[in-house]
Amino acid sequence: MAETGVVARSPIAPAAPEIILAGWAVSARRSGAALTVTDCTPLTKVAIKAAPVGATAERLEVPFGRVSRQTWTLGDRDCSVMVVGSGPGEWLVLGPPGSQVSLIHQLSALAGDGDLVAVVDLSHGRALVRLTGSWAAEVLAKETAMDLGDSVCPDGAAFRSAVAGLAADVIRDDRDGTRSYLVGCERSSGQYLFDSLLESGAEFGIEVDGFVPPDI
């Protein structure tokens, strides 16, 4: 059955044309520009906290500051998820829109015996933006003091820093050999972050690209 009603909206206004995807109002715009910015807020975002050394950490298999692309069975589907070592004893798992219940169940099942574990759904509480293109590092460098060179921040790296004056999580997740970053912040600052990246990327011909969910 076709989706007709909006269940959720990102804090970032979708560029026309607008469509409904998994209950989210998203932009269906498709850009061929060499530098793009995309609102990825509809992705499911689940945080898990546990001891940095223990059974749960061993089962997640992703150290602090690193990212792993994995395929998990969520419900009756094999889905692409991203596991991020976002802090000491902290991980963020990104999955397809609407997969909160399945992800929470999966992460709760990973908890080691005797480990004190907290699993929290952050899907509607955090904004998430993707910056992609050969000039992505130059644009992001305008917004953060972090060294974005390959030796410090290679593909698959993650860190926390100030971006556009906001406390943000940054994930380098290159797409088909093209440099790409995911930048997450508090929901209330999502539009500001998006607009700031657009402004910084104007000299490089940045364009808005619509949201496409991970492959299933």
Task: Please compute the mean of the pLDDT values over residues 27-48 and round it to a whole number.
Answer: 97
Let me know if residue 215 belongs to a domain. no
Let me know if residue 172 belongs to a domain. yes
Check whether 213 has a pLDDT greater than 70: yes
Is 35 in the same domain as 130?
yes
Number of separate domains in the chain: 2
Let me know if residue 2 belongs to a domain. no
In which domain, by residue range, is 182 found?
Answer: 15-42+124-208
Give the pLDDT confidence score for residue 58 in this predicted structure.
92
Percent of the chain with pLDDT over 90: 88
Is 159 in the same domain as 197?
yes
Residue type, 41: T
What is the per-residue pLDDT across 52-68, written as a single tens digit (0 to 9) for each? 999 999 999 999 999 99
Q: Which one of 81, 102, 121 terminates a domain?
A: 121
Is 184 in the same domain as 110?
no
Task: Please compute the mean of the pLDDT values over residues 9-30 and round it to a whole number.
Answer: 95
Q: Which one of 97, 121, 145 terminates a domain?
A: 121
* Dihedral-angle region of residue 128 (phi above 0 means left; psi in -120 to 50 means alpha; beta otherwise): beta
Give the pLDDT confidence score for residue 76 in this predicted structure.
86
Give the pLDDT confidence score for residue 144 in this predicted structure.
98
Is 164 in the same domain as 191?
yes
Is 112 in the same domain as 128?
no
Is 100 in the same domain as 48?
yes
Is 134 in the same domain as 63?
no
Is 38 in the same domain as 52?
no
Two structure tokens written together for 106:
């999966």
What is the per-residue pLDDT across 109-129, written as a single tens digit (0 to 9) for each? 888 777 899 999 999 999 999
Two structure tokens written together for 166:
């906001």
Let me know if residue 3 belongs to a domain. no
**C-alpha separations of 153 from 1, 69, 119, 150, 158 in Å:** 43, 17, 27, 5, 8
Let me know if residue 28 belongs to a domain. yes
Q: Which one of 121, 156, 178 terminates a domain?
A: 121
Which DSSP string do the residues of 52-78 spell out, in sequence order? SSSHHHHHH---TTBEEEEEEEETTEE
Check whether 104 has a pLDDT greater than 80: yes
Which DSSP string do the residues of the chain spell out, in sequence order? ----S--EE-SSPPPSSEEEETTEEEE------SEEEEE-TTSEEEEEE--SSSHHHHHH---TTBEEEEEEEETTEEEEEEEEEEETTEEEEEESTT-HHHHHHHHHHHPPTT---EEEE-TTTEEEEEEEETTHHHHHHTT--S--STTTS-TTBEEEEEETTEEEEEEE--BTTB-EEEEEEEGGGHHHHHHHHHHHTGGGT-EE----PPP-
pTM of the model: 0.94
